[in-house]
Amino acid sequence: MIKSFSGVLGMSLVAFLSASPATAQDQAAVAVAATPAATGQNVAVAGGRSLHVMVAQSELKSDINPSNAAVYTGGGLLGGLIGAAMDSARAKKAEALITPVRTAVADVDADALAIAAAKAGFAKADWNRTATDASFSKDSSPAGKSAYLDTNPNAETAFVEYSYDLSPNFDAVRVIERIEVAAKSVPQASKPEKRLQPKYLVYSGSVASIVSLPDASKDKEANAARWAADNGKLTRAALSQAFNKLQELTPRLLAMTAADGDALNRDKKNKRIMAAGYFGRPQPTSDGSTLLWTGFGFAQITPLR
């Protein structure tokens, strides 16, 4: 419990610290190319690079808004205990609410959606031209990824992990793609699993695709009922839409150079905004959706169509 609590605190702190102050910048000057350029994550490498798709979960996950009890009580052990108990109760309720949705979409093969998204998203990466069949695993643990690096003959592997869930208020389906390119040989890493530490990664980035429920209620039970209704019709459509959006956003992210990312991070004239739980600088879109640069990648929020 303490570990989980401190984990949440840690993540919040990282998110807070990663936010840099706003400055001026011309959005057009940092517009990202629509097609992949010859950036490091796209070009072929000596020894080859493989694509490994991972989906650790077996069903749609639930999420909660973590309690602020620890903050309100001034912190300390008691505050932590109260907060953890509140989070536990919220998680139990979320699990109960999501169960009918899971049942309704039990036959949806999200693993296949993820594999298709990865194949399409990486199709134009030079190194991936021969990778017609991406490997797949449900083991996204550092130990599992390290074992994959050892058994795979290529010099590098692009680990692409997908997670999908319903937002805490049950007002959106969220699909997140995390890309980590790791090298098989990292002489500085003292243990095999340390090859996966951020400082040793060749590349990392993420894309989030959030599909919002039209006319969502503030009542999460009402929203959950809508996601489950009619054999999960809206959930099926939202998952499909979200994974499809990733196929568009992934090449765009991969085409970015480090300088492109820095330029977006320093674009202080373009104030960060909060949308669907994501904090970032809004980017122009042609379809009227909300697209944010989060500092690590993109988050796109689109209404369910």
Distances (CA, A) of 242 to 62, 82, 206, 210: 16, 36, 14, 6
Q: How far apart are CA 262 and CA 256, in angstroms?
A: 10
Binding test (CB under 8 A) with another protein, winner from 49, 51, 101, 102: 102
- Of 48 and 142, the one with the shorter C-beta distance to another protein is 142
Binding test (CB under 8 A) with another protein, winner from 39, 87, 242, 243: 87
- Where do runs of H (alpha helix) occur along the chain? 2-18, 69-72, 76-104, 110-121, 142-151, 220-254, 258-265
Q: Binding pattern to another protein, positions 226-255, x when CB under 8 A?
A: ------------------------------
Binding test (CB under 8 A) with another protein, winner from 139, 221, 230, 262: 139
Q: How far apart are CA 274 and CA 270, in angstroms?
A: 13
Select the span of 19-27, 45-53, 87-95, 267-275 touching another protein (CB under 8 A). Answer: 87-95
- Of 54 and 242, the one with the shorter C-beta distance to another protein is 54
Residues comprising the chain, all counted? 305
Direct distance between the N- and C-terminal alpha carbons of the chain, in angstroms, rounded to an integer: 40
Restricting to residues 52-81, which ones interact with another protein according to CB under 8 A? 56-59, 61-64, 66
Select the span of 32-40, 122-130, 133-141, 232-240 touching another protein (CB under 8 A). Answer: 133-141
Instruction: Identify which of 249, 142, 156, 267 has the alpha carbon closest to the alpha carbon of residue 206.
Output: 249
Select the span of 33-41, 92-100, 126-134, 233-241 touching another protein (CB under 8 A). Answer: 92-100
Q: How far is the CB of 6 from another protein (least distance, A)?
A: 12
- Of 82 and 229, the one with the shorter C-beta distance to another protein is 82
C-alpha dihedral, 13 to 18 to 22 to 28, nearest 10°: -140
In the complex, the residues that contact another protein under the rule CB under 8 A are 1-5, 8, 56-59, 61-64, 66, 84-85, 87-88, 90-92, 94-95, 99, 102-103, 106, 111, 136-144
